[in-house]
C-alpha cells in the first residue's frame, strides 16, 4: 500500500516537472495537468487501502474458526 501511495504522490509533481522542462506551455496549464493526474491517482490509493483492510479482516475472522472446505462469500457485519 505504501508503494501505491508513493506512486500517487509522486506522479502528479513528476509529470508536471517533466512538462515544464519538455514543453513551452503556460505554467498555469501545466499545474492544472499535474493536479488532474494527482486527483486521478488518489482514488486508487483508497481502493488499495480498502482491499488491504478487508483482506486482513477476512484473514483474522477465518483464523478464529476451523478452516472450512470452501471460503465464505460474505462476512457478517456486526
- Residue 10 pLDDT > 70: yes
Burial class of residue 42 in the structure, from the number of CB atoms within 10 Å of its CB (0-12 exposed, 13-18 middle, 19+ buried): middle
Name residue, grid cell 505504501.
2
On whether the CB atoms of residues 54 and 74 are closer than 8 A, the answer is no
Does pTM surpass 0.75?
Answer: no
Residue 8 resides in a domain: yes
Give residue 37's domain range: 2-63
Number of domains in the chain: 1
43 assigned to some structural domain: yes
Q: Within a domain: residue 78?
A: no
Under DSSP, is residue 75 helix (H, G, I), strand (E, B) or coil? Answer: coil
Tens of pLDDT, residue by residue over 31-68, are 899 889 989 989 999 999 999 999 998 888 777 666 55
What is the band of 2 on the pLDDT scale with cuts at 50, 70, 90?
A: confident
pLDDT for the residue numbered 26: 93
Over 70: is that where the pLDDT of 76 sits? no
Taking CA 17 as the corner, what is the angle to CA 13 and CA 19, rounded to the nearest 5 degrees? 115
Domain assignment present for 77: no
Could you tell me if residue 7 is inside a domain?
yes
Domain assignment present for 68: no
In this structure, the chain runs to a length of 78
Amino acid at each position: 500500500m505504501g508503494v501505491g501511495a508513493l506512486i500517487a504522490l509522486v506522479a502528479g509533481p513528476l509529470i508536471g516537472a517533466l512538462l515544464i522542462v519538455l514543453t513551452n506551455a503556460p505554467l498555469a496549464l501545466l499545474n492544472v495537468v499535474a493536479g488532474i493526474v494527482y486527483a486521478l491517482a488518489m482514488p486508487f490509493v483508497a481502493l488499495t487501502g480498502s482491499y488491504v483492510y478487508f483482506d486482513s479482516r477476512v484473514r483474522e475472522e477465518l483464523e478464529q474458526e476451523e478452516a472450512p472446505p470452501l471460503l465464505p462469500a460474505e462476512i457478517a457485519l456486526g
